[in-house]
Amino acid sequence: MKNQIRQMLEGSTRGALWFDEPLAKHTTFGIGGPAECLVYPADKSDLMQLLRLCEKYNVVTHFIGSGSNVLANSSGVEGLVISLKKTFKSFKITEGLQIITDSGVMLGTMVRQAIKRGISGLESLIGVPGTVGGALIMNAGAYGTEISRNLFEATVLTKQGKEKKLLKDQLKFSYRSSSFNPEEILIAAVFNGEAGDPDQIQTARNLASARRKASQPLQFRSAGSIFKNPVGDTPTGLLIDQAGLKGTRCGDAEISEKHANFIVNHRHATSDDVLTLIRKMKNEIFALNNIHLELEIKLLGFPNSIMKEFGHA
């Protein structure tokens, strides 16, 4: 990053700003080399100014939530990495049970507050990591529930720093996917809550929490499920298990013994280690089942050849 741009960022940003900051410290995988610049904007106007500056000087920008669904390049990430998780934290539930939240609010916080107010439909998402914004962009779901179900409206900022409001019917949601423009950053959302039976809500919450603890390797660092489930009755984890790949290692990265659709970091895994395992999983499942697995995690800061190889470009 040119010194002139670094100086302008330092002079115009009111939020937290780091240069050459290791992304391993900011992702749940614990993997990622230095970002040229990592920033937590102070507020919406600060973010607008940042986006306009990056647009004017053609600075590459990346958006991450809490880093829970991300594999960042261990060699480093060019440009500006923007996260809203520490500053975009406004949250309230109205008397009419409408949930009004900034995108940097943790999904778990929203789910817990909704349960306290007797709002049904979100309780199965308890324990799903990440921010509300990141969850909406990937249409996070668990045990038959998706976060988009009760969405009313979302607010985004363009890379020109302009604000846009999008009603739900202006967006498309599908399994672990949405039509949010990747060139825009989601800053807020409104959900229409539905009153439910408190006992049923608590029962569903407890069931989801118990299932997650029983089936996922929560004691290790990971990015969650590596692949989406393919169309059909067999989940990806079972396909990988049937292929005999549980426990396969590359360096400090391992295909989890507990859930085969997770890759865990035993301490010093690199992005190359993880990509080696991802390739092996994809190739084996295609050879055995003629199924092309699609990544659920997002790749950050890799060259175009890697992005194309894994369907990110």
- Of the residues 103, 225, 256, 271, which is catalytic? 225
Is residue 24 a contact partner of residue 31, using CB atoms and an 8 Å limit? yes
- For residue 177, give the nearest of 212, 147, 151, 154 by alpha carbon: 147
Helices (H) and strands (E) in the chain, counts: 8, 21
- For residue 211, give the nearest of 274, 145, 302, 135 by alpha carbon: 145
HSE-up of residue 61 (Cα within 13 Å, Cβ side) = 26
Is residue 121 a contact partner of residue 192, using CB atoms and an 8 Å limit? no
**Cα–chain center distance at 154:** 17
In angstroms, the CA 119 to CA 133 distance is: 20
Would you call 225 a catalytic residue per the annotation? yes
Amino acid found at 24: A
Would you call 296 a catalytic residue per the annotation? yes
- The pair of three-digit structure tokens given for residue 123, joined into one six-digit string: 């309780």
- Of the residues 124, 176, 254, 284, which is catalytic? 176
Q: Could you tell me which residues come within 8 angstroms of residue 72 by beta carbon, excluding any fewer than 6 positions away?
A: 23, 24, 27, 29, 31, 32, 33, 35, 271, 300, 301
Residues with catalytic roles:
176, 225, 296
